[in-house]
Amino acid sequence: MTENNRHPDQIPEIISFSPIGVIHSEHTLAQQTPAQPVFAQDCQGTLEVFPPYAAGLKDIEGFSHLYLIYHLHRAGTPELVVKPFLQDTEHGIFATRTPLRPNPIGLSIVELLGVSGNLLSIRGVDILDGTPVLDIKPYAARFDHILANRSGWLDEVDEQTAFIRGRRQYKPAKQ
């Protein structure tokens, strides 16, 4: 490895994907959508997988949690330095989970409550209604339970502050 890019002619300028599904949730306003699943444990929703991809769900019901990778379709113009939802201090976009990313890709770990055909019932939904989903991966403690000992600026935010700010004025809909 040198400071030269060894692959200057191999990196495409554009990489394109097609949605494999869509989120149905009660979140219709970005500013009232919780910032993370941990702040949305009372939010349930549905991931509708488009029929051509439904066969890819085989055996997914065995997993208690899933990663969803999706398009932050209502994110605004990207910014490289931002104040995140949880703190009034500027940080690089890649040191935050803020949506205004160069590539507006969202990542959420949701609880899988059940599967009915091509519909996944999920909990911990911090995702706007109508969000296009690009991929689903099983969460596995043996891969993903990392003993991370430093969480940067997030270590400066106490639990109560994080919850209040991360909740983002979300009020559960009347059932």
Q: What residues from 60 to 119 belong to the interface with a copy of itself (CB under 8 A)?
A: 60-67, 69, 71, 80-81, 90-97, 101-103, 105, 107, 109, 119
Question: Contact letters (x/-) for a copy of itself, 7-26, by CB under 8 A?
Answer: x--xxxxxxxxxxx-x-x--
29 binds a copy of itself (CB under 8 A): no
First to last CA, the chain: 57
CB 20 within 8 A of CB 134: yes
- Residue pair 73/131 in contact (Cβ under 8 Å)? The answer is yes
The footprint of a copy of itself on residues 154-173 (CB under 8 A) is 154-155, 159, 162
The nearest distance, CB 171 to a copy of itself, in angstroms, is 19
φ/ψ bin of 86: left (φ > 0), alpha (ψ from -120 to 50), beta (otherwise):
alpha
DSSP code of 110? Answer: E
Indicate whether 135 belongs to the interface with a copy of itself (CB under 8 A).
yes
Question: How many residues make up the chain in this entry?
Answer: 175
Contact at 8 Å (CB) between 49 and 120? yes
Choosing from 31, 77, 114, 152, the residue that interacts with a copy of itself (CB under 8 A) is 152
Q: Which of 32, 46, 75, 123 binds a copy of itself (CB under 8 A)?
A: 46
